[in-house]
A and B are shown apart, each in its own frame.
Chain A
Amino acid sequence: MNRSLRPLAATTIIFIIAYGLSVAQFPNMFSTRVLGNFLTDNAFLGITAVGMTFVIISGGIDLSVGAVIGFTGVLVAVLVSWFSVHPLIAFAIALVVASAFGALMGCAIHFLQVPSFIVTLAGMFLARGAASVLTQDSIPVNHEFYSFISTLYIKLDGGGRISFIGGLMLLVFVIGAILAHRTKFGSYVYALGGNATSASLMGVPVARTTILVYTLSSFLAGLAGVVFSLYTSAGYPLAAVGVELDAIGAVVIGGTLLTGGYGFIFGSFVGVMLQGLVQTYIIFDGSLSSWWTKIVIGMLLFLFIVLQRVIFSSSAPKLKHVRKLKHE
C-alpha cells in the first residue's frame, strides 16, 4: 500500500473499532439518529477542517480560523438583527470579508516571507478583537429564514436526519476532495508542501497558490461561521475559541503530515467523526466529564504523530530499487 495511505487506513480502522466498542456498550449508539447528529454537531468543525487540510498540506498552518468563525457569526448576527439585512445577503457579505481577510494573510505570508504561524496568529487576534468591537454580548438571531433552514433535512431510515448544515459539510468535503486530488490547484498545493524551492523551479505559481490556500481556508472558516450561526441562532464574539486546534487535531489524526506534502481530505472527515464519536460516547455514558474528549483527542494525536514518524522515516526512499538499472 502507498505509504501515505497508511495513516488514513489506520484512522479509519480505529474509528470502526472505537465505534464498534461503543455500540457494544451502548447499542443505541448504532442508529442513523446518532450518525445524523454526528454530522450536524460537527458541521462547522468539518468545514473548517477541509480548509485546514489544504493549509497543512501546503506546509503551513492557519491559527485564525476559530476567530474567523467567531467574527463571521457576530457579523451575520449584527447585520441581520440590527440592520435587518436578509440573512442570505449577510452570509454573502461575511464570506467576502472572510475571504479577503484570508487573501491578505496569504499575501503577508508569501510576500513578506513571514512564517504562516506568526501571520495567522496575528490574524487570530485581529479577527477575535474585531468581533468583540462589534459587540461584547451574544446577539440572538430571530429570522424566519433561520427557521426555514432548520426545516430542510433528508430523513433517513430509523428516524435519523441529515440536516442542511450536515449535508453542507458533506458537500464541502466532496468538493474539497475533488479540488485537492483532481485539479491543478490541488497538485500545486501538494507540490508546495513537498518542497517549495523545487515547486517554484518546476513552474508552480507559488504566490498565487499560497494566497489561494489561505483565502480558501478563511472562506471555509467564514462558511463554518455561517453554519455555526445557523446551528446556534446567535452570534457571540467568544464563540468557537480553540476550534483552530480541534481542526488541526482532526487533520493530523486524519493522516495529514504536519510538515506538509502528504494528506487526504477524506482523512480529515474521519478525524472529525472520531472527535464526534468521543463526544457522543461521553454523552451516552453520562458520568464522564466532557474534558475526557480532550484527553482522548490528545492521546490519539500523540499516537498518530508517532505513527507517522515511524511510517515516514522507516520506509523512506529506496523501497524499490529498479532492477532495470543493471546493464542489459
Chain B
Amino acid sequence: MADTSYTLQARGICKYFGEHTALQDIDFALRPGEVHALLGENGAGKSTLIKILTGAYHPDAGEVLLEDRPVSFRDPLHAQAHGIGTVYQEVNLLPNRSVAENLFLGRQPTRFGMVDKRRIEREATELLARYGLDDIDPRAELGAYSVAVQQIVAIARAVELSGKVLILDEPTASLDRNEVEKLFEVIADLKARGLAIVFITHFLDQVFAIADRVTILRNGRLIGTEPLTEMSRTDVVRMMLGKDISFSGGTSAVGEREVGELLVSFRGTGRTGSLQPFSLDIHKGEVIGVAGLLGSGRTEMARIMFGIDPADSGEIRLNGTPVSIQSASDAIAHGFGFCPEDRKADGIIGDLSVRENIVIALQGKLGWFRALNRDDQLEIAGRFAEMLDIRAASPDMPIKLLSGGNQQKVILARWLATDPGFLILDEPTRGIDVGAHAEIVRTINRLRDDGMALVVISSELDEVVAYSSRIVVMRDRELVAELRGENINPSVIVQAIANQSDEAIAS
C-alpha cells in the first residue's frame, strides 16, 4: 500500500541502552481509522517503541513520520501538540482535581484573568456526553470515579488535544468485563472518526475483538505485522513466544524420569481477584515449568505460593501436613525460596555488596541474635560464587555494578544459601547474557537432580521444555492444563495457551 495512507510511520528504528539492544530495525505503520494491536512479552520492546513514537526517547537510528513528514518530538507534550495522544494503564491524570479540570488543565479558558469555571464545566459536560459519560458530575473529584471512567476521561482529553493518533497502553488491565465493553464502544467510535489507534494489551481475546491489524515484537525485534483476519490465536501466540516453533526433538528429556516423594501440595489454593483456585502436587527432584502469557496469572501463582499475597482459599500441605503460609517469612520458615521476576525492584539491594546480598535471606532466617560474622559471610559468598560462577571482582563490590546475569546468580545464591526444599523462580533467565543463561539452566538441572522441588516460570518455551518434569499452563488467571510426558513440547504448549485444540491438551 502507498505510503500516503499512513498516519504515523516508524522506519528502521533502533534503540540501544548501553550494551543492551532494546529495539533493532523496527518498522511500524499506522493507518487512519484502524485499531492496531501491539503485542509482545515483557522486555519485547513495546514500551520502548511507544516512548520513541511519543518523543519520550529518541531513536539511535531510523525515523518517525507523521502524515509523511519526518518528525522529531522533544517530549510527549510536543508529540501531543502534533496529534499523538497517549493513555497509560495507570491513568496519568490528577485524581485530586475535578473531572472538568482534568479535561481542560493547561488550556482553561479565562475571563478577566480568572479561570472561567462555568464555561469549563459546561464544555466538560458536553464532551463527556460524547463519550457516553452523561451522568458524570464534572465538578466532582476525578479520584471518586472508577478506573474505567478515569480511562475514558483520559482518552477524551488525549483525543481533544491530539486528534490524530491515540496510543492506549494496557488500558483494560484493571477493568471488568462491562467496563471493557464500554471502553471498546468508545474506541470503535474514535476509529469511525478516523483516528489511528495503537492498542497494547496482553489479553488475546480483546485483540481479536477490536483490532484490525497486529504487530508483534519479541526481544526487541519485529516478528511481523499482519491483518488479524488472516491469523489464528495459535499463530499469534507462536509469534509472541517462539522465534521459530518447528522444533527438532522438542520433547523433554526429563519428563519420564522418576521423581521423589511428594513435598508440597496445593489443593484448591487461590486468591480472590488474583488467581482462580488451582491444585498442584510438587515432588522432590521435580521441576514444574509454568507457561503462559504475560498477565495470565503466572506471577500471581508464585506470589501466592510464597505467601506474598496469601491464598484465601484451599489448603497447602508440606510433607502431608497442612501448613499456613500467610507471609513470606512463613514461607521461608518452611524452607521455601523465591527469586522474583523484577530483579531490580524486588530482588537486589543495589548498594549492598555481593556478599551481603547473598547472606541476607539466610540472616533473615537465622534471626536477630545469631549474626553471621564476616568470615562466615565470606565463606558462604565464596562457596556460592564458585558454584554458580558469579563473576564479581570482589565479594565486597556493590551488586548494582554487576551484569544482569551475575545479579540473577547472586539472587539464586541468596536462596540456595538458606538450603530450601522448594524453590520458586520467576523468569530466572530474562534479560541476561547467553553464558549466564546456560549457567542458570545448568543450576536448575543440578538442583533437581539433587532432589530439590522447583517451580520455574518462563516465557522461553524451549528452555521450559528442556528442564521441566511437568508443565502447567496458565491462561486468564487460571491453571488450564497440566502437561506431562510427550506433551511437553512447544507446539502443545502454544496450543494450550491459545486454547485452540482441546484434545491436544487433555493430559
| Chain A interface residues toward B at CB < 8 A | 2-4, 178, 182-184, 186-188, 190-191, 193-195, 197-204, 261-262, 316-327
How far apart are B378's CB and chain A's nearest CB, in angstroms? 37
B143 partner, pick from A204, A316, A327, beta carbons under 8 A: A316
Contact B106 A203 (CB under 8 A): yes
- B106 → A minimal CB distance (Å): 4
Closest partner residue, chain A, to B175 (CB atom) = A325
Encode B471-488 as 1/0 by CB contact (under 8 A) with A: 000000000000000000
Point out the residues of chain B lying under 8 angstroms from A199, CB to CB: 94, 105
Q: Specify which of B77, B132, B149 is in contact with A201 (CB 8 Å cutoff).
A: B77
Let me know if A327 and B182 touch, CB within 8 A: yes
List of B residues within 8 angstroms of A194 by Cβ: 94-97
Given A183-B114, A203-B105, decide whether A323 and B97 contact each other with a Cβ distance below 8 A.
Answer: no
A-B contact pairs, 26 of them (CB 8 A): A3-B144, A183-B110, A183-B113, A187-B105, A187-B115, A194-B97, A197-B92, A199-B94, A199-B105, A201-B92, A202-B106, A202-B157, A203-B105, A203-B106, A204-B105, A317-B147, A319-B144, A320-B146, A322-B135, A322-B136, A322-B146, A324-B132, A324-B133, A325-B178, A325-B179, A327-B181
Residue of A nearest to B177 (CB): A327
A186-B115, A195-B95, A199-B94 are known contacts; what are 17 more A-B pairs with Cβ within 8 Å? A2-B140, A3-B141, A4-B141, A182-B115, A183-B113, A187-B101, A191-B94, A193-B96, A195-B92, A198-B92, A262-B96, A317-B147, A319-B144, A321-B146, A322-B135, A325-B182, A327-B178
Partner of B93 from A4, A202, A203 at Cβ < 8 Å? A202
Q: Give me the 3 closest cross-chain CB pairs, A-B, nearest first.
A: A203-B106, A261-B96, A194-B94
| Complex contacts, B114 vs chain A, CB 8 Å | 178, 182-183
Question: Is B145 part of the contact surface with A, judged by Cβ < 8 Å?
Answer: yes
- Across chains A and B, the number of contacting residue pairs, with CB separation under 8 Å, is 105
Tell me if B108 counts as interface (CB < 8 A to partner A). yes
Give A315's nearest chain B residue, CB to CB: B144
Which residue, of A194, A323, A325, has the highest number of chain B Cβ atoms within 10 A?
A: A325
- Our pick among B92, B97, B146, B157 for the contact of A325 (Cβ within 8 Å) is B146
- Which of A184, A193, A327 is close to B115, meaning CB atoms less than 8 Å apart? A184
Contacts of A4 in B (CB 8 A): 96, 141
The 8 Å CB contact of B95, one of A203, A317, A327, is A317
Within 8 A of A (CB), among B94-145: 94-97, 101-102, 105-108, 110, 113-115, 117, 132-136, 140-141, 143-145
Neighbouring B residues of A322 by C-beta, 8 Å: 133, 135-136, 145-146, 148-149
Given the complex, which residues of A lie within 8 Å of B77, measured CB to CB?
A: 200-201, 203
Task: Give the complex CA separation of A198 and B148 in angstroms.
Answer: 18
- Interface: B76 (CB within 8 A): yes
Instruction: Indicate if the CB atoms of B135 and A187 lie closer than 8 Å.
Output: no
Taking CB as reference atom, which chain A residue is nearest B105? A202
Give chain B residues whose Cβ lies under 8 Å from the Cβ of A327.
178, 181-182
A293 → B minimal CB distance (Å): 32
* CA of A183 to CA of B157, assembled, Å: 20
Pair B110/A317 contact, Cβ less than 8 Å: no
A261 to B149, CA, bound (A): 21
Which single member of B105, B115, B134 contacts A324 (CB below 8 Å)?
B134
CB neighbors of A among B411-455 (8 A): none
Please state if A187 and B97 are interface contacts (CB–CB under 8 Å).
yes
Which residue, A198, A199, A204, A262, has most C-beta atoms of chain B within 10 A? A198
Which B residues contact A (CB, under 8 angstroms)?
Answer: 76-77, 80, 92-97, 101-102, 105-108, 110, 113-115, 117, 132-136, 140-141, 143-149, 157, 178-179, 181-182
A2 to B143, CA, bound (A): 11
Determine the chain A residues whose CB is within 8 A of the CB of B144 once the complex forms. Answer: 3, 317-320
Complex Cα–Cα for A324 and B183 (A): 12
How many whole Å from A58's CB to the nearest CB in chain B?
12
Shortest distance from the beta carbon of B92 to any chain A beta carbon, whole Å = 4
* CB closest chain-A residue, reference B144: A319
Report B463 CB to chain A, min CB distance, Å. 36
Shortest distance from the beta carbon of A263 to any chain B beta carbon, whole Å: 10
Give B86's nearest chain A residue, CB to CB: A201
Q: Is the Cβ of B141 less than 8 Å from the Cβ of A202?
A: no
Q: How far is the CA of A324 from the CA of B115 in the complex (A)?
A: 30
Please report the C-alpha to C-alpha distance between residue A198 and residue B157 in the assembled complex, in whole angstroms: 13
Residues in A whose Cβ lies below 8 Å from that of B96 = 4, 190, 193-194, 261-262
Residues of the B chain whose Cβ atoms lie less than 8 Å from the Cβ of A191: 94, 97, 105
Tell me which residues across on chain B come within 8 A of A319, comparing CB atoms.
144
- Return chain A residues, CB-CB under 8 Å to B106: 202-204
Among A198, A202, A320, residue most surrounded by chain B Cβ atoms (within 10 Å): A202
Nearest chain B residue, comparing its CB with the CB of A324: B135
The residues of B that contact A321 with a CB separation of less than 8 Å are 145-146
* Minimum CB–CB distance for A209 against chain B, Å: 11
Nearest Cβ in chain B — how far from A60, in angstroms? 15
Contact A323 B178 (CB under 8 A): no
Contacts of B146 in A (CB 8 A): 317-318, 320-322, 325
Chain A CB within 10 Å, residue with most, of B92, B93, B108, B143? B143
A2 touches B148 (CB 8 A): no
Residues of B within 8 A of A326 (CB): 178
Within 8 Å CB of B102, what residues of A?
A: 202
On chain A, the residues within 8 Å of B157 by CB distance are 202
Residue of A nearest to B108 (CB): A184
Task: With CB as the reference atom, state the residue of chain B lying closest to A199.
Answer: B94
Distance of A195 Cα from B93 Cα, bound (Å): 8
Query: Most chain-A Cβ atoms within 10 A of its Cβ — which of B93, B94, B110, B114?
Result: B94
Which residue of B is nearest A205, CB measured? B106
Specify which chain A residues have a CB less than 8 angstroms from the CB of B147 in the assembled complex. 317
Please determine whether A317 and B145 come into contact, CB atoms closer than 8 angstroms: yes
CB nearest neighbor in B for A328: B132
Q: Taking the nearest CB of chain A, how far is it from the CB of B253, in angstroms?
A: 49
Cα distance A318–B106 in the bound complex, in angstroms = 26
Residues of A within 8 A of B95 (CB): 194-195, 317
CB distance from B460 to the nearest CB of A (A): 33
Q: Which residues of A contact B93 (CB under 8 A)?
A: 198, 202
Choose one: A184, A195, A197; the contact of B110 (CB below 8 Å). A184
The smallest C-beta distance from B354 to any residue of chain A, in angstroms, reads 30
Give chain A residues whose Cβ lies under 8 Å from the Cβ of B76: 201
Per the bound structure, the CA–CA distance linking A184 and B113 in Å amounts to 8
CB contacts (< 8 Å) of B143 on chain A: these are 316-317
Complex Cα gap A202–B179 (Å): 24
Q: Shortest CB–CB separation between residue A188 and chain B, in angstroms?
A: 8
Shortest CB-to-CB span from A226 to chain B, Å, is: 26
Complex CA gap A198/B77 in Å reads: 11
A195 touches B115 (CB 8 A): no
Q: Closest Cβ of chain B: how far from A256's Cβ, in Å?
A: 12
Chain B residue contacts of A318, Cβ below 8 A: 144-146
Chain B, Cβ-Cβ closest to A193: B96
Report whether B140 and A320 are in contact in the complex, using a CB–CB cutoff of 8 Å.
yes
- Please report the C-alpha to C-alpha distance between residue A316 and residue B142 in the assembled complex, in whole angstroms: 11
Residues on A with C-beta less than 8 A from B182 are 325, 327
A325 neighbours in B (Cβ, 8 Å): 146, 148-149, 178-179, 182
